[in-house]
Structure 1
Amino acid sequence: MHMSLGDLKELLVSNSHGINEEYTRIFHGRGNTYEGYRFLTVDSVDKVLFAVLFEPCDEEDAIVSILRDFFCAEGKWEALVVQQRYLPSSPSSVIEGEFPNETYAIENGLKYRINFLNAQNIGFFPDMKLGREFVRDHAQGKKVLNLFSYTCSFSVAAISGGAVSVVNVDMNKNVLSVGRENHRLNALDTKKVEFMPYNILKSWSRIRKEGPYDLIIIDPPSFQKGSFAATSDYEKIIRRLHEFAAEECIVLSALNAPELNSGFIKTLFCDNAPEFRYVERLKNLDSFPEKEEERSLKNLVFKKEP
């Protein structure tokens, strides 16, 4: 769809109908469905209207002006924040209003701590909503392993869904600290939750010790310099699954690299963990339209055959 600035304004208005405190993507240009606006996303996050510019563009001032007018006309938020992701350190600026004392990502009644002003990623990935719902719906009575846990949103979903225990593994201690806070925010019992600040690829014996696990989540970054590259390292995880998977283990295997399709993951399981049967690919949210589906988030479910 070819778009003008006027079209953008109309889309923002139409997509904001019925918005409440829940995290909502109002405009998703990243999926190439809106020609010329791949560099822009706009989210409603609790009391904040949050826009991200991923690339510099000649129309940036005009886009910010449209966002300012939209913010003022709607009157639904306390602050308009714009992040220039393309600049070093990805600075965010409060363009209108006053930044609230407390702002959360709210999803299905659960709260997650976020940080707009001091980080490239705010601490929450909204496109994973249906993945978190899957984990919550399948966690009852299960021991859960959450690899590349980041701020532990899967863990929050699992514990709220009745998981017996969750082990979160991420080499970044800071995001695990946010993860602890996310459990406390939702009055969830952290006695059932473990936070391991380890490099997953070097910590198999420690991870195995807490198993076997009934539900395993693998949600790595596509590429993290010096620690993980999906093209070469994902296979190392799949190859090890048999060491810590319970008899009827379910695996949610996520991949957000646009250049790798779902066949990449299916082949890894077929070649390295043939005891796991492919079950389904979870749907993605309609609010994250993608011109080429295989370039979008891929959440694949596998189940171990007893």
Structure 2
Amino acid sequence: MHALLDAISRLERPTDAQRVFHGRGGLHPGSEQWSLDAYPPVWLLTSHQPVSDSDLDTVLEALRERWSVLAPSEPLNCVFQLRQEARSETRVLSGDVPDPHTVSEGPVRFRVHLPRGLNHGLFLDMAAGRQWVRDRMRAQPGARVLNLFAYTCAFSVVAMQAGASQVVNVDMAGGALNIGKQNHALNGLGQGASFLPHDIFSSWGKLRRSGPHDLVIVDPPAYQKGSFVAEKDYVRLMRRLPDLLAPGGHAMLCLNSTKLETSFLLDLMQVAAPSLRFLERLPNPPAFDDASPERALKVLIFQAPSDGPGDDEGNPGHVP
């Protein structure tokens, strides 16, 4: 874990939520199991393999030493999570965790919850996707957005802040949507967003009537038993996109799977909705660089045909 300790020795004090060490990307031999994230004022240390108390103490001591330089008058707040497949064990190693815990990403604020659950309320690897949504909404003020698998509605908050007139957030997890409502209130967003705790596959009629949508965001889990399995369910979503999108509208399709590559989405789209044109794959944040980019998060942008000439953007893209 030399690379992790070296990264800790060079830490700067963060202001926004961000990843600061990404062993999972395979670029740091010997530290592949580790990641370190900043959710100010808390550090989140994660291991994807069991770790000895000795190794954990070594990392914690390195954090304490660096923090004493960065913030000598402040306690070190550190949470450790052991993640194995779909299970996690989380405990506070040092200091305290605010409750409620609010973090920032640029101009946006989000509620997070580190000590409980497998996920923490904000997916840091999706920062570039949120920036793309922000830029898209600034270029198209008043746009209508459909946010599928909305989780805590981070995309919705960004879209509304940047000028969207309406966002429909859909997720089966009512608890996550409640946090999404808090995120909207936290950012002073009072109107324009709706929150539907529905099964997407049983709600197509309602979703179609809420449109047409200038942007449809699809960010499902790669695998969630009883809810979504990418290999069989993604194509069902794609078939609906032409009916949900306004002429010239955009679709953002996300896939966080180490096994399924970009070609999985591109090939399915050619079968399910060939009228949608592929524009680009968004680059992931530099902190999430991966030795094998196809194992990392894939975020692809497509565009529906327009009613008239000159409305489509860009040229057919290529996979980097």
TM range (shorter): over 0.9
Tell me if structure 2 keeps the 8 A contact 1:151–1:176.
yes
Tell me if structure 1 keeps the 8 A contact 2:144–2:213.
yes
Which structure 2 residues correspond to residues 187-226 of structure 1 after superposition, within 5 A? 187-189=188-190, 191-226=191-226
Q: Distance in 2 between matches of 1:176 and 1:68?
A: 36
Q: Secondary structure of 2:25's match?
A: coil
Uncovered stretches (5+) of structure 1, i.e. residues with no partner: none
Q: Secondary structure of 1:69's match?
A: helix
Tell me if structure 1 keeps the 8 A contact 2:242–2:276.
no
Shift of 1:267: 1.0
Q: Distance in 1 between matches of 2:243 and 2:144?
A: 15
Matching residue of 1:62: 58
Matching residue of 1:162: 163
Q: Secondary structure of 2:300's match?
A: strand
- The question of 1:38 aligning with 2:32 is answered yes
Q: Distance in 1 between matches of 2:85 and 2:76?
A: 25
- Amino acid in structure 2 at the alignment position of 1:195: F
Tell me if structure 1 keeps the 8 A contact 2:9–2:62.
no
Cα deviations by residue, 1:101-122 (Å, 9 ceiling, x for unpaired) = 4422310121110011121111
Q: Secondary structure of 2:115's match?
A: coil
Matching residue of 2:18: 24
What number of residue pairs does the alignment pair up? 299
- Inter-CA distance 305–87: structure 2 relative to 1 (3 Å threshold): closer
Q: Distance in 1 between matches of 2:63 and 2:85?
A: 20
Q: Distance in 2 between matches of 1:271 and 1:44?
A: 41
Q: Distance in 2 between matches of 1:106 and 1:275?
A: 38
Matching residue of 2:181: 180
- Inter-CA distance 277–150: structure 2 relative to 1 (3 Å threshold): same
- Amino acid in structure 1 at the alignment position of 2:169: N
Matching residue of 2:315: none
Which structure 2 residues correspond to residues 62-141 of structure 1 after superposition, within 5 A? 62-75=58-71, 78-86=76-84, 90-139=88-137, 140-141=141-142
- The question of 1:142 aligning with 2:146 is answered no
- Inter-CA distance 248–79: structure 2 relative to 1 (3 Å threshold): same
Q: Distance in 2 between matches of 1:236 and 1:86?
A: 29
Shift of 1:77: 6.3
Q: TM-score, normalization: structure 2?
A: 0.88
Matching residue of 1:152: 153
Matching residue of 2:8: 12
- Amino acid in structure 2 at the alignment position of 1:63: V
- Inter-CA distance 88–72: structure 2 relative to 1 (3 Å threshold): farther
Shift of 1:74: 3.1
Q: Distance in 1 between matches of 2:165 and 2:196?
A: 17
Shift of 1:78: 4.8
- Amino acid in structure 2 at the alignment position of 1:271: V
Q: Distance in 1 between matches of 2:181 and 2:40?
A: 21
Tell me if structure 2 keeps the 8 A contact 1:81–1:93.
yes
Tell me if structure 2 keeps the 8 A contact 1:171–1:199.
yes
Q: Secondary structure of 1:90's match?
A: strand
Shift of 1:84: 2.1
- Inter-CA distance 32–236: structure 2 relative to 1 (3 Å threshold): same
- Amino acid in structure 1 at the alignment position of 2:287: S
- Amino acid in structure 1 at the alignment position of 2:93: I
Tell me if structure 2 keeps the 8 A contact 1:68–1:95.
no
Tell me if structure 2 keeps the 8 A contact 1:79–1:100.
no
- Amino acid in structure 1 at the alignment position of 2:143: K
Tell me if structure 1 keeps the 8 A contact 2:38–2:44.
yes
- Amino acid in structure 2 at the alignment position of 1:24: Q
Matching residue of 1:246: 246
- Inter-CA distance 256–89: structure 2 relative to 1 (3 Å threshold): closer
Matching residue of 1:276: 276
- Amino acid in structure 2 at the alignment position of 1:280: E
- Amino acid in structure 2 at the alignment position of 1:220: P
Task: Let me know the Cα RMSD of the aligned residues.
Answer: 1.8
Cα deviations by residue, 1:37-61 (Å, 9 ceiling, x for unpaired) = 2221111112111111221134344
- The question of 1:296 aligning with 2:290 is answered no
